Structures are given as C-alpha cells and as structure tokens.
C-alpha cells in the first residue's frame, strides 16, 4: 500500500506479480497507516487542510483489493490527527495528535460507540516523535520520545482504556526513523546513524615545477 503520484492510495503485490492499482480516489493526499488484525480494514490519514483519520473496509476479489466507502474516524478543525495504529485485538486505535500544542499519543475505541467517538485517553505526557507501537504478547504501548523509547502498560474494561504512567524502556535508542518491536517484544529494530569514517590518508603526492623551461636551459645550455 502506498501513496501514488496523484495523492491517493494504491496497492500492488509485494512480489511484484501485479501492476499497481488505485484503491481510493484522491480527495487530498492520503497515507496508509495500518491494517486491522484480520486484514479487512485499513486506517489512513487524509490531508485536506488539517490531517484527518479515516478507515475503510477492504475485500479481496479475484486477487484484487476492493475498498468500501471510507468512514471518517476523527476530524478536527484545529489540530492534526494522523498515524493511526490498530491494536492487536482490533478494538482500539492509537494515533498522534497535536491538539495540545505538540504531538502526543492518544487512544480511542474502535469502532466508535454508537453514541459518538467515545472516550479518549492521552498516553504520552512529554511529546511523541512518531507513531505508537502495540506489543504483540502483552498490554503495552511503545512510543518514541526524543531519543528514548517509552513503554506504557495498560488494561481495558469494555470501552474503557486504563493506561499507567509512561516509563523509559530504552534510554538511548539513537533511531533516525520509526522503530519496530519484534514479535517477542524483546527486541527493537531501528535505523541508526553510523559515524563517518575518518578521511583516508593521502597515498600520493603531487610535485609542481614552475619555470620548467628555465630549469631545462640551466641544465642543458644548448636547449632553446
């Protein structure tokens, strides 16, 4: 799944066996965020003024993906909401929002209760650099805060999400992009900068001779 040149979403097989196909018409620049655990729904961000969160049902037909009618999950006239990530059970969406003046991680129930959006819980409390990551085997949310990787344990009760205080899991991650938690929740893959190698010593030298012909005449008087 990727953003095509027109700004909409397209998809292709990961093995390159098919040509890219458009999934949704572009009403603004769209960015895919995550699939639900059963693969039947996609969460994505659409940029039309402020960034807004949508989900859309997906169905496979003849080896092709067909999208249903996009459904607005969260819209704001004053803040950007983006990078929505489905929980492992598919009942929650974690996302980034700058509604407080800086990017923080929030969680809302999915699908929203019939009465409206339902509750909203702020997970991070000192800013968040990138999208959240859900643990695979336990009730933990991870997120990057500056150069640290933070962990937040949580419990759920129906449509209520109870998050504990964030704690530092990795004090110095050193990542230059998004990190990924391994399936065993014991390791993290991240792109980190490599220190530039010292400049190699010069193996050659250049000798410049000025007034070459004067030097030739001095050494070979008959030369003209």
Which residue range(s) make up the domain with 163? 2-219
Give the SS3 label for residue 182: coil
Q: What is the largest CA-CA distance in the chain?
A: 108
Is 13 domain-assigned? yes
pLDDT tens-place string over residues 170-220: 898 877 677 888 888 888 888 777 765 565 666 666 666 677 677 667 777
Is 195 domain-assigned? yes
Q: pLDDT at residue 35 above 90?
A: yes
Count of domains for the chain: 1
Question: In terms of residues, how long is the chain?
Answer: 224
Is 24 domain-assigned? yes
Tell me how far apart the alpha carbons of residues 125 and 179 are, in angstroms, rounded to a whole number: 20
Is 161 domain-assigned? yes
Encoded tokens for 43: 């969460």
Is 156 domain-assigned? yes
How much is the pLDDT for 206? 67
pLDDT tens-place string over residues 110-162: 988 777 667 899 999 989 988 899 998 879 999 999 888 999 999 998 889 99
Report the CATH number at residue 160: 2.120.10
Contact 128, 104 (CB under 8 A): yes
Is 224 domain-assigned? no
């Amino acid at each position: 799944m990727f953003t095509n040149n027109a700004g909409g979403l397209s998809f292709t097989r990961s093995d390159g066996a098919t040509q890219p196909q458009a999934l949704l018409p572009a009403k603004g620049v769209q960015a895919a965020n995550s699939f639900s655990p059963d693969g039947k729904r996609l969460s994505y961000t659409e940029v039309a003024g402020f960034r807004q969160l949508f989900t859309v049902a997906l169905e496979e037909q003849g080896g092709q993906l067909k999208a249903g009618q996009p459904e607005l999950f969260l819209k704001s006239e004053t803040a950007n909401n983006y990078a929505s990530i489905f929980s492992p059970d598919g009942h929650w969406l974690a996302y980034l929002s700058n509604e407080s003046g800086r990017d923080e991680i929030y969680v809302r129930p999915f699908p929203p209760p019939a009465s409206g959006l339902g509750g909203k819980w702020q997970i991070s409390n000192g800013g968040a650099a990138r999208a959240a990551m859900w643990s695979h085997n336990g009730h933990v949310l991870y997120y990057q805060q500056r150069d640290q990787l933070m962990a937040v344990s949580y419990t759920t009760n129906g449509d209520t999400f109870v998050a504990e205080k964030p704690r530092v899991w990795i004090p110095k991650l050193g990542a230059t992009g998004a990190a990924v938690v391994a399936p065993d929740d014991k390791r993290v893959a991240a792109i980190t900068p490599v220190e530039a190698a010292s400049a190699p010593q010069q193996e050659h030298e250049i000798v410049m001779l000025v007034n070459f012909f004067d030097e030739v005449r001095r050494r070979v008087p008959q030369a003209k």
